[in-house]
């Protein structure tokens, strides 16, 4: 409702002034002020184009875009993670014209930016994945194996500190542990959740809560504010939160690779931050203005500034600053990024999260055992994929 | 308990506490009793109102839940959530919000039109068996875009296991089901172009409704919930005998007829607030009293402190410490007392010093007087001894004179008889020699000589008796040795010895007592006592021209002592004279040459020599008597 009112107000204002209004919606809370500032600078360079930047939570953003796809109030540009390209049909995304496609990108990256071999996303940054942070006040030597974390739990408890802040009920966090046991979420545009590896992951995830290493009620506040306040020794949070964590914890903040378990390592699910264009915006009347804005945002200097500030990796490289290349945190992010796996932009991939969450919650609630929970995940994911394929 | 042993402090505390406690307790008891009476009916009414209020509140919550579900069902995102997983998070958040506000709903479900459970809160409900719901859903879905919200009552025991796992048995298997159709329309108006995508379902356990009602009515016991006269809850315990049964109608949105809820309110429970209040009041009263006790103790301590200090001051004064400076006290009264005490102490000090001076002076004077007295006494004792010795000499003189007088008469008579006899003898001898003796002369000679011899013999015997008597007295007075003597004979001999003195008066003596009794004592002392008493009667009590009597009697008392009573019928004496008769040198006839030692000697002999006592009875004109009580050893007992 708020966005509708805002859009109406802007529309009326621009109608009076005769300027073109571009609506940009995004999900990156940490970059909201930077995007707004950049948009404002763009508008000052292009006075005939007014840009409205609107921040929405990820799930709400997706639903709102899909709902508004055929509405006049629909956004012109969305800045979102690349795996959401799987919603391309529902969001009525514009296929990128050639001039917006960066053909120099590696093939796997190109694949992650494509839905059914068509380019829909203009990449801004890579490195959108989860990281293992720790507070040096409590951790002198970060663990390399999950068993060490289990062992150290009682030590931390004696110090009045929780061990690991984990957004426990979010499937994106659970996906880390699914990967630890080799569970592949989707393959060849099909959900592959009903596996023994998934069952092992569910059991391991449950063990984290049962042993007190993690708390099942831990949420977003836990991985950010509580961790910043020193209540947790370790926290798993997204790379998008790194700048905030650094600002709050200062030199106490450390980043380390995810621990291994019985020789297996975690490859966090990663994506690109991309610009996409719903409601076939690039084929509409504002296509030229949109392209100008895209070009402006993708200027290396702009991307580099934002990347340096938020420990992101710009997709268009300028000469890397000395500071960025030697910052230990940045180097750790890079190291973890190299060990990450890009999520494919498929309908199956975007369909797994709902089922995965319900399955893990049912398992946590002891309503289903691991096998039934995995089966439930699969069934739900398949149904969501079918609905997605069928459209609204 | 003696009053004197009670601490003044304790008394004050008791007074303070009782003074506060008794009115408080009386007033409290009265108020509580009044309050209890007034509140009893009010509490019953209040309980009844509470049950009605609880039912209204629950009805309101059910209505609110229904409205919230209806509002959500109108949200197109919810309708879309039934047909797309993209909208699931939004729908789940909405369901969570409602569930958080409405704990009455055991589960909130979002189903698509193919009975697929798209979302459920709590998450357990995602695996809820929907068989029991399907007929109602089928009916709803059959209505398609014309479907409206429905409420129905289901007997679905399957739901219990998953959704009421933590509830205690016995459970009701009745469930209240609210169904809201989810419709998706391109326009604001629902019309045949609209699409029914699914349904929102709220599952409310009758068990949960019961718990909620019980939560709202902690003081009432919910007996059962009826719908169309059918009990929805398993049989519960019967109401207690003292319970008040109330009924209330619970309106359920969408349901044709209301639930009838029956409550039982125990009178005891209803009155519990009053009881609690009573206890609370009692506790407060106790605390208040405790406070008073403490305050009383503090006050009394404050009051007693100056008293104790004052007592200490007084003690020091009592110990003679008049030099202590004036003490100061916090209260005016004590300050005044201390001031007065201090002034008194100063004056006492002055008086004491004055008295001490006087005492010293008097003591010195007394000391001198005592010394003078001692000296005088020594001189007096000396004089007394001299006088006693003189008296003794005087009495010996009297005795010797008496002896001379008594002896003179018989001796003279004997000499005369002897001379006459010698004359007659010579006349006879001459006549014989001359042969002139005549018969008549010889007969006269014989008659005269016989008379002379008889007189001579009589006079000599008389002299012998006197001599024996004097000898006996003389011997007794000389030696003062204990010896055995016949008391009667001895007293007779004493009286006989005083025959000359008695002869100067017209006196008749009479001695009464056992005549054979022999005692062991100091007979000389007896003699001197009786002599002095008789001389005293003659000298001070008798007139020479009058006839007088002296009675002397004695007897043994039961305790073995000897009682001698001496009595005369003389002039007697006044009381003031009587009081002083045993004093040495006291006499009423000093001009007649009396020494004033006679009765004093008697007194000393009785009390010191004989270890006895003497009492005098006399009155002017009534004669005088002396009663002597003497310890004696009886050798021959009286008959």
Q: Given the structure tokens 């719908």, which residue do they identify?
A: B227
| Average pLDDT, integer, range B86-92 | 85
Q: B116–A383: do the CB atoms touch at under 8 Å?
A: yes
Query: Are residues A245 and A383 both part of a single domain?
Result: yes
**Among the listed residues A59, A228, A15, A263, the one whose alpha carbon sits nearest the alpha carbon of residue A133:** A228
Lowest-pLDDT choice from B127-136, B250-259, B439-448: B439-448
Contact B84 A59 (CB under 8 A): no
Which residues on A lie below 8 Å from B80 (Cβ)?
A: 63, 67, 392
Element (H, E) at B291: helix B272-318
Q: Which two tokens stand for residue B579?
A: 């009081």
Cα A360 from Cα A370, distance rounded (Å): 8
At residue A248, the 3 state secondary structure works out as helix
Q: Which residues of A touch B166 (CB under 8 A)?
A: none
pLDDT confidence of B511, banded at 50, 70, 90? very high
Q: Which of B78, B79, B86 to mutate to test the interface with A (most CBs of A within 10 A)?
A: B86
- CB-CB contact of A226 with A135 (8 Å): no
B159 vs A contacts (CB less than 8 Å): none
Question: Under an 8 A CB cutoff, do B123 and A358 touch?
Answer: yes
Tell me the shortest Cα–Cα distance from B116 to chain A, in angstroms.
Answer: 9
Whether the CB of B143 is below 8 Å from some CB of chain A: the reply is: no
Residue in B84, B89, B124 closest to A59 by CB: B89
| Residue B116 near chain A (CB below 8 Å) | yes
Structure confidence at residue A324 as a pLDDT band (50, 70, 90): low
Q: DSSP letters of B187-256?
A: SSS--TT-EEEEEEEEEEEHHHHHHHHHHH-TTEEEEEEEETTEE-S---PPPPTTEEEEEEEE--TT-S
Burial state string for B216-231 with b = 16 or more CB within 10 A and e = fewer than 16:
bbebbbbbbbbbeeeb
A365 vs B contacts (CB less than 8 Å): 122-124
* Percent of chain B surpassing pLDDT 90: 26
Contacts of A380 in chain B (CB under 8 A): 85
Residue A24 bridge partners (DSSP): A53, A77
Give yes or no for a contact between B633 and B520, defined as CB atoms under 8 angstroms apart. Answer: yes
Instruction: Please give, one letter per residue, the 3-state secondary structure of B418-459.
Output: HHHHHHHHHHHHHHHHCCCCCHHHHHHHHHHHHHHHHHHHHH
CATH number among 3.30.565.10, 3.40.190.10, 3.10.20.30, 3.40.50.300, domain B480-639 = 3.30.565.10
pLDDT at residue B391, rounded to an integer: 60
Residue in B closest to A65 by C-alpha: B86
Output the CA torsion sign for B298, B299, B304, B305.
positive
Q: What is the DSSP string of B18-35?
A: HHHHHHHHHHHHHHHHHH
Cα gap A368→A356, rounded to integer Å: 13
| B249/chain A closest Cα distance in angstroms | 37
CA-to-CA dists, residue A295 to A101, A281, A305, angstroms: 11, 16, 15
Interface ipTM: 0.84
Res. B475: pLDDT tops 70? no
Lowest mean pLDDT across A261-275, B11-25, B101-115: B11-25
Sign of CA dihedral A42, A47, A49, A53: positive
Asked if B204 contacts B106 with a C-beta cutoff of 8 angstroms, the reply is: yes
Mean pLDDT score across all residues of chain B: 82
Residue B104 binned pLDDT confidence (cut-offs 50, 70, 90)? confident
pLDDT at A3: 45
* Closest CA of chain B from A68, distance in Å: 11
> What residues have CB less than 8 Å from A218, skipping those under 6 apart?
A165, A166, A167, A168, A226
Please indicate whether, in this complex, the C-beta atoms of B124 and A351 are within 8 angstroms of each other. Answer: no
Within this chain, do residues A219 and A368 fall inside the same structural domain, yes or no?
A: yes
For residue A273, which of A247, A242, A239 has the smallest C-alpha distance? A239
Measured between beta carbons, the chain B residues lying within 8 angstroms of A67 are: 76-77, 80
- HSE of B33 in the Cβ direction (CA atoms, 13 Å)? 6
Q: Which two tokens stand for residue B532?
A: 């002095």
All structural domains of chain B with their residue ranges: 12-273, 480-639
What per-residue confidence (pLDDT) applies to B285? 78
**pLDDT the model gives residue B1:** 45
Q: A76 CA to chain B: closest CA distance, Å? A: 20
Nearest CA in chain A to B114: A383
SS3 call for A167? coil
Query: Residue B521: in which H helix or E strand, if any?
Result: strand B518-521
How would you classify the pairing of strands A232-238 and A162-165? parallel
| Cα→Cα distances B393→A386, B386, B389, Å | 175, 10, 6
Q: How far apart are CA A209 and CA A217, in angstroms?
A: 9
Average pLDDT over chain A reads: 89
Q: Which two tokens stand for residue B268?
A: 């005891």
> Chain A within 8 Å of B126 (Cβ-Cβ)?
yes
Identify all chain A residues contacting B198, using CB atoms and an 8 Å cutoff.
none
3-state secondary structure of B369: helix
Residue A10: pLDDT band with limits 50, 70, 90? very low
The pLDDT tens digits of the residues spanning B4-14 come to: 556 777 777 77
**Is the pLDDT reported for residue A392 higher than 80?**
no
CATH code at A174?
3.40.190.10
- B603 vs B412 pLDDT, higher one: B603
Q: A-chain residues within 8 Å CB-CB of B162? A: 367
pLDDT (average), residues A33-55: 94
Report which secondary-structure segment, H or E, holds A358: helix A347-364
Task: List chain A residues with CB under 8 Å of B89.
Answer: 59-60, 63, 354
**Between B388 and A149, whose confidence is greater?**
A149
Q: pLDDT at position B161, please?
A: 80
pLDDT, position B180: 93
DSSP H or E stretch at residue B9: helix B8-74
Supply A239's token pair: 């790379």
* HEC string for B113-172: CCCCEEEEECHHHHHCCCCCCHHHHHHHHHCHHHCCCEEEEEECHHHHHHHCCCCCCCCC
- pLDDT, one tens digit per residue, over B225-245 is 999 888 888 876 666 667 778
Q: What is the mean pLDDT of residues A113-136?
A: 93
- Cis geometry, peptide bond prior to residue B122 (ω within 30 degrees of 0): yes
Closest alpha carbon within chain B to A352: B85
**CB-nearest partner of B123 from A354, A362, A392:** A362
Distance from CA of B274 to the nearest CA of A (A): 44
DSSP designation for B204: E
A306: closest CA among A279, A324, A326? A324
Give the CA count within 13 Å in the CB-facing half-sphere of B270: 26
Domain count, chain A: 2
Q: Which of A66, A376, A383 sits opposite B86 (nearest CB)?
A: A66
Q: What is the mean pLDDT of residues A317-321?
A: 55
Q: Does B331 touch chain A (CB under 8 A)?
A: no
Six-digit token pair at A148?
């060490």
- Check if the beta carbon of residue A209 is closer than 8 Å to that of residue A366: no
Q: Which helix (H) or strand (E) holds B390?
A: helix B332-433
Q: How far is B161 from chain A (nearest CA, A)?
A: 11
Tokens 């004056």, located at residue: B347
Nearest to A387 among B83, B123, B162 (CB): B83
Identify the pLDDT of residue B390: 61
- Tell me whether residues B80 and A59 touch, CB distance under 8 A: no
How large is the angle between the packed helices B88-101 and A58-68, nearest 10 degrees? 120
| Band of pLDDT at residue A205, cut at 50, 70 and 90 | very high
Phi, psi of B584 (to 5 degrees): -65, 140
**The most confident of A192-206, B361-375, B420-434, by mean pLDDT:** A192-206
The domain in which residue A328 lies consists of: 2-128+271-335
Residues A186 and A216 in one domain: yes
| Spatial distance between the Cα atoms of B412 and B395, rounded to a whole number of angstroms | 25
A39 to chain B nearest CA, in Å?
A: 29
Say if residue A232 is in the same domain as residue A305: no
A348 → chain B, closest CA residue = B85
Does residue B495 surpass a pLDDT of 50? yes
| Whether residue A366 is found in the same domain as residue A323 | no
Q: Shortest CA distance to B375 belongs to which of B363, B386, B383?
A: B383
Taking an 8 Å cut-off on Cβ atoms, the answer to whether A376 and B86 are in contact is: no
In this structure, the answer to whether residues A166 and A69 fall within a common structural domain is: no
Asked if the C-beta of B74 comes within 8 angstroms of chain A's C-beta atoms, the answer is no
Smallest Cβ–Cβ distance between A351 and the set B85, B89, B162 belongs to B85
Question: A384, B77: Cβ pair inside 8 Å?
Answer: no
Measured from the Cβ of residue B511, the count of other Cβ atoms closer than 10 Å reads 18
What are B113-127's pLDDT values in tens digits?
A: 889 999 999 998 999
B623: left (phi over 0), alpha (psi -120 to 50) or beta: left
Query: Is B123 in Cβ contact with A367 (below 8 Å)?
Result: yes
The verdict on B96 touching A (C-beta cutoff 8 Å) is: no
- Please name the member of A350, A368, A392 whose beta carbon is closest to the beta carbon of B127: A368
Chain A contact for B329, CB < 8 A? no
Q: How far is A370 from chain B (nearest CA, A)?
A: 14
Q: What is the pLDDT of residue A16?
A: 42
Task: List the single residue in A67, A354, A367 with the smallest CB-CB distance to B124.
Answer: A367
A242 and A275 co-located in one domain: no
Residue with tokens 């007794």: B476
Query: What residues in A contact B86, CB-CB < 8 Å?
Result: 62-63, 66, 87, 90, 350, 388
Distance between CA atoms of residues A274 and B336, nearest Å: 102
* Nearest by Cα to B79 from B120, B118, B122: B118
- B126 and A367 in contact by Cβ < 8 A? yes
Q: Which helix (H) or strand (E) holds A207?
A: helix A196-210
Which structure tokens are listed for B399? 């005795």
């Amino acid at each position: 409702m708020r966005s509708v009112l805002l859009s109406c107000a802007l529309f009326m204002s621009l109608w009076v002034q005769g300027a073109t209004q571009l609506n940009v919606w995004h999900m990156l809370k940490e970059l909201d002020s930077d995007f707004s500032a950049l948009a404002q600078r763009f508008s000052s360079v292009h006075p005939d184009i007014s840009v409205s930047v609107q921040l929405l939570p990820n799930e709400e953003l997706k639903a709102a875009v899909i709902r508004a796809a055929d509405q006049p109030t629909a956004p012109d540009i969305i800045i979102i993670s690349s795996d959401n390209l799987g919603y391309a049909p529902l969001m009525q995304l514009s296929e990128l014209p050639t001039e917006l496609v960066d053909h120099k990108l590696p093939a796997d990256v190109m694949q992650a930016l494509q839905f059914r071999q068509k380019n829909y996303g203009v990449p801004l940054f890579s490195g959108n994945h989860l990281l293992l942070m720790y507070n040096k006040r409590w951790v002198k030597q970060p663990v390399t194996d999950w068993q060490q974390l289990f062992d150290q739990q009682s030590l931390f408890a004696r110090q009045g500190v929780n061990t690991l802040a984990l957004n426990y009920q979010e499937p994106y966090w659970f996906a880390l542990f699914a990967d630890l046991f080799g569970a592949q979420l989707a393959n060849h545009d099909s959900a592959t959740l009903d596996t023994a590896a998934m069952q092992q992951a569910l059991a391991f995830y449950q063990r984290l809560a049962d042993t007190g290493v993690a708390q099942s009620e831990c949420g977003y506040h836990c991985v950010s504010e509580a961790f910043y306040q020193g209540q947790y020794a370790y926290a798993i949070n997204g790379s998008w939160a790194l700048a905030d964590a650094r600002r709050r914890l200062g030199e106490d903040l450390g980043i380390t690779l995810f621990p291994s378990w019985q020789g297996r390592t975690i490859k966090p699910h990663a994506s690109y931050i991309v610009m996409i264009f719903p409601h076939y915006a690039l084929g509409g009347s504002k296509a030229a203005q949109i392209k100008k804005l895209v070009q402006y945002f993708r200027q290396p200097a702009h991307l580099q500034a934002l990347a340096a500030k938020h420990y992101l990796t710009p997709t268009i490289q300028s000469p890397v600053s000395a500071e960025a290349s030697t910052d230990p945190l940045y180097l750790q992010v890079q190291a973890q990024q190299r060990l990450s796996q890009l999520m494919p932009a498929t309908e199956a991939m975007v369909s797994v999260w709902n089922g995965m969450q319900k399955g893990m919650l049912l398992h946590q609630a002891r309503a289903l055992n691991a096998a039934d929970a995995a089966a439930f995940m699969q069934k739900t994911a398949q149904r969501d994929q079918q609905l997605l394929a069928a459209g609204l | 308990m003696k009053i004197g042993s009670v601490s003044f402090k304790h008394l004050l505390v008791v007074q303070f506490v009782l003074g506060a406690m008794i009115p408080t307790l009386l007033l409290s008891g009265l108020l509580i009793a009044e309050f209890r009476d007034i509140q009893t009916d009010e509490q019953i009414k209040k309980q009844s109102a509470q049950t009605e209020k609880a039912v209204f509140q629950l009805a309101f919550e059910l209505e609110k839940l229904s409205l919230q579900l209806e509002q959500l069902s109108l949200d197109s995102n919810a309708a879309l959530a039934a047909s797309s997983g993209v909208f699931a998070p939004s729908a789940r958040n909405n369901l969570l919000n409602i569930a958080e506000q409405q704990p009455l709903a055991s589960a909130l479900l979002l189903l698509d039109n193919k009975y697929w459970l798209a979302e459920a809160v709590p998450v357990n409900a995602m695996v809820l068996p929907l068989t029991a719901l399907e007929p109602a859903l089928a009916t709803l879905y059959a209505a398609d875009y014309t479907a409206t919200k429905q409420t129905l009552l289901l007997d679905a025991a399957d739901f219990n296991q998953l959704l009421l796992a933590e509830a205690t048995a016995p459970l009701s298997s009745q469930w209240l089901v609210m169904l809201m159709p989810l419709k998706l329309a391109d326009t604001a108006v629902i019309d045949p172009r609209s699409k029914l995508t699914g349904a929102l379902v709220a599952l409310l356990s009758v068990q949960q409704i019961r718990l909620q009602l019980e939560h709202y009515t902690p003081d009432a016991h919910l007996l059962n919930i009826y719908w169309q006269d059918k009990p929805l809850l398993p049989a519960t315990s019967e109401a207690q005998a003292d319970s008040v049964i109330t009924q209330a109608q619970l309106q359920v949105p969408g349901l044709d007829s209301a639930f009838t809820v029956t409550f039982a309110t125990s009178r005891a429970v209803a009155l519990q607030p009053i009881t609690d209040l009573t206890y609370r009041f009692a506790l407060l009263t106790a605390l208040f009293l405790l406070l008073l006790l403490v305050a009383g103790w503090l006050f009394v301590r404050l009051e007693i402190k100056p008293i104790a200090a004052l007592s200490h001051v007084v003690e020091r004064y009592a110990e003679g410490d008049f030099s202590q400076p004036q003490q100061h006290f916090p209260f005016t009264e004590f300050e005044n007392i201390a001031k007065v005490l201090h002034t008194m102490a100063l004056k006492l000090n002055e008086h004491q010093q004055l008295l001490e001076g006087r005492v010293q002076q008097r003591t010195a004077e007394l000391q001198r007087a005592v010394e003078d007295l001692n000296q005088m006494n020594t001189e007096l004792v000396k004089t007394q001894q001299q006088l006693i010795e003189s008296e003794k000499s005087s009495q010996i003189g009297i005795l010797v004179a008496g002896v001379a007088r008594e002896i003179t008469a018989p001796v003279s008579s004997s000499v005369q008889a002897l001379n006459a006899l010698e004359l007659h003898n010579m006349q006879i001898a001459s006549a014989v020699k001359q042969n002139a003796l005549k018969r008549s002369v010889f007969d006269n000679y014989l008659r005269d000589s016989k008379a002379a011899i008889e007189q001579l013999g009589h006079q000599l015997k008389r002299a012998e008796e006197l001599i024996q008597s004097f000898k006996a007295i003389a011997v007794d007075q000389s030696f003062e040795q204990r010896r055995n003597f016949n008391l009667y004979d001895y007293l007779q001999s004493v009286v006989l010895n005083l025959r000359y003195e008695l002869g100067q008066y017209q006196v008749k003596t009479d001695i009464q007592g056992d005549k054979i009794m022999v005692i062991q004592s100091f007979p000389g002392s007896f003699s001197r006592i009786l002599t002095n008493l008789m001389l005293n009667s003659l000298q001070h009590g008798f007139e020479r021209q009058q006839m007088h009597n002296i009675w002397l009697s004695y007897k043994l008392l039961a305790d073995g002592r000897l009682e001698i009573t001496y009595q005369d019928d003389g002039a007697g004496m006044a009381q003031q004279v009587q009081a002083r008769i045993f004093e040495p040198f006291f006499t009423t006839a000093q001009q007649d040459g009396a020494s004033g030692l006679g009765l004093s000697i008697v007194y000393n002999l009785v009390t010191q020599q004989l270890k006895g006592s003497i009492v005098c009875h006399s009155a002017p004109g009534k004669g005088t008597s002396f009663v002597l009580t003497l310890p004696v050893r009886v050798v021959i007992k009286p008959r």
